[in-house]
Structure 1
């Protein structure tokens, strides 16, 4: 039974939700931040996880039974690819379980479905960093849990919801790609499943139930909140020349069959009736 958990990335969307759930369940939790303060119900520790010694000292001081790494930066290789190795090493040294939050960006995308056994094939630097972190974590903590997730949504704090709101309120212009397909999930569902997976070694996939492109998601967000849709413009990632994976069909059939917690689809949790 988890007696103390250390959650990195407490200022992030998923990290903050995980801390809220642990606190609600009565679990002693410690969170870390780096550049931004966290809106969570516990004090947090500011730390640069790229510093191996600092990470090891923190874990040794906190003595967690579980470490969940939800920290990342799409523009910083060290934070995304290297810091997880420091944390996994430190967790292994104190006998703590370790959960590495990975991403569907480790895949290039295409018509095929990517299972837990599919080999990473990233097409951009962020995907390569996430794939490198998976390898490093396995080497540093053989019993680690690695969970690949897709887009996280569900509240107005989510990146997608905030982006749509800024577009429809004339704060910025934006194009929503119709050729960028994901399996978005509610952040609360993902957090619950990650908690359930803790302590289970191996690779796991946590997609939402529905495949949606980004234009469809924008329409669903507008319908849920009653926002106008006249400023939503469809476009193509390919035509825009923006590199990144498209049509990533993350298959979580095997993972979800072993879990009690459900993963809802965007058409359910973004329903106006929800």
Structure 2
């Protein structure tokens, strides 16, 4: 399979390049990738030209910017419009939902409360109409093993005494980047269509996640400052998707074990 990966300089994009056993063509916006193709997903004409040139059998679309509607929403629409016969996997987010105490299932409609969540929800809606056979994979906080993820970097900064704090009221379902990449590659070649949830099976507060990262990295977890913050509990129930995968999505307490 010839696979096009957008956002190949990101944490997930880099992992997909390492994990995929396909003929992979990475795209990047500003930071070059060896063998990659420069692509601004906000430009519909450029997206069309790149996809026509590469002629991929599959596309995993990871490119986004939390503070930019055009990249996150319109960019995803541009990719879907240009995908033609290529199998499309779109990486979405738990941010399409608002806080509540019970987990969200795949059939539940988005109810975002942030601009980023609204952009992802808009992209989901458009892709569902443009390419009904596409996979929309909602995920949660992505954690790595090499210090590149945002959460790992924040732990290092805060244990070093930089200003900031982890929120005890912010609860998510963290996933290891390798597990996520493996699951997306499985979904790419599967018969699954529509909404999927690909998040960790364990709900943790941002503080609890930060403490696990600190312990793994030999840092002092007690050095992490914390505040309650606004209550924000968003859990994805991923059991339905996990049942069709051979990839086992590990809980954070397992993949971050010292």
TM-score interval (norm. to shorter): over 0.9
Contact in 1 for aligned 2:201/2:237 (Cα 8 Å): no
Deviation at 1:228?
Answer: 1.8
Contact in 1 for aligned 2:137/2:196 (Cα 8 Å): yes
The runs of 5 or more residues in structure 2 that have no matched partner are none
Task: Name the structure 2 match of 1:34.
Answer: 29
Deviation at 1:174?
Answer: 1.6
Structure 1 CA distance for aligned equivalents of residues 144 and 138 of structure 2: 18
Contact in 2 for aligned 1:85/1:136 (Cα 8 Å): yes
RMSD between superposed Cα atoms in Å: 1.2
Task: Name the structure 2 match of 1:96.
Answer: 86
What is the TM-score of this pair, normalised by structure 1? 0.90
Summarize the alignment of residues 1-274 of structure 1 with structure 2, pairs less than 5 Å apart: 3-22=1-20, 25=21, 27-38=22-33, 42-92=34-84, 95-155=85-145, 156-170=147-161, 172-199=162-189, 200-238=192-230, 246-272=232-258
Which secondary structure state, in structure 2, belongs to the residue aligned with residue 5 of structure 1? Answer: strand
- 1:108-145: CA deviations, max 9, x gaps? 01112100001100001000000000011112212100
- 1:196-221: CA deviations, max 9, x gaps? 11152111001112110011011101
What is the TM-score of this pair, normalised by structure 2? 0.96
Which runs of at least 4 in structure 1 moved beyond 6 Å after TM superposition?
Answer: none
The runs of 5 or more residues in structure 1 that have no matched partner are 239-244
| Residues paired across the two proteins, number | 255
Structure 1 CA distance for aligned equivalents of residues 26 and 144 of structure 2: 22
Deviation at 1:237?
Answer: 2.3
- 1:172-210: CA deviations, max 9, x gaps? 222100110000000000000001111521110011121
